[in-house]
Structure 1
Amino acid sequence: MFDIGFTELLLVGLVALVVLGPERLPGAVRTAGLWIGRIKRSFNSIKAEVEREIGADEIRRQLHNERILELEREMKAMKQDILDTTSLKPGSEPGKPAETPQPAAQDKNPQP
């Protein structure tokens, strides 16, 4: 993450030893470790919460899409029921029953 090598860590340790002294250095390192642990846990909890929210948003979006599809299916079924009930075919005039094909008239005088 920060790309800190061994030499940089050694330099920071030597500066801390000179500034804090050998008596307070172990306590300071322990305190720094606790703070770093708390910060990592905080970042991890925030990350997990964001991932849960993103997952919840996707689930909500999928449910919404499924509801829309179900409504479209219901509307198509209702339209078909209405057309079947009123015997209307698409393109025919309302109020008039749909024309049904008439059987072809047979000749009364068949040709031999």
Structure 2
Amino acid sequence: MPSIEIVEYDPMWPDHFEKEKARILSVAGAYIDDIQHIGSTAVPGLGAKPTIDMLIEQAELSLVEKCVQPLQTLGYEYLGENGLPNRHFFRKPIGASWTGRLFNLHVVEKGSDE
């Protein structure tokens, strides 16, 4: 089982989030209602795995299909529901390897309890 790396809080995480949010909106913004920085990297001062989690809300979850190709152009891999109904996942590696991920995207329907 691979080990989990927890690192000191990085004050650049919010900036990395904002820049990636802008990239995502530039290619798929027509299908996205909101993008939020979630998880431990969103909490100032808290140590975390060095992966930025983002929550994308869509008016209808069926719109996720329209986001797959645009997000792939940014280097994301689409994982589908990945075992959790009503939530779709994307991940983006660091470099060409999956040994580390810089971003995880969680896509849900706006207003859902997911």
Same fold (TM over 0.5): no
Name the structure with the higher helix share: 1
Larger Rg: 1
User: Which gives a bigger RCO, structure 1 or 2 (Cα 8 Å, sep 6+)?
Assistant: 2
What TM-score do the two structures reach when normalised by structure 1? 0.23
Name the structure with the higher strand share: 2
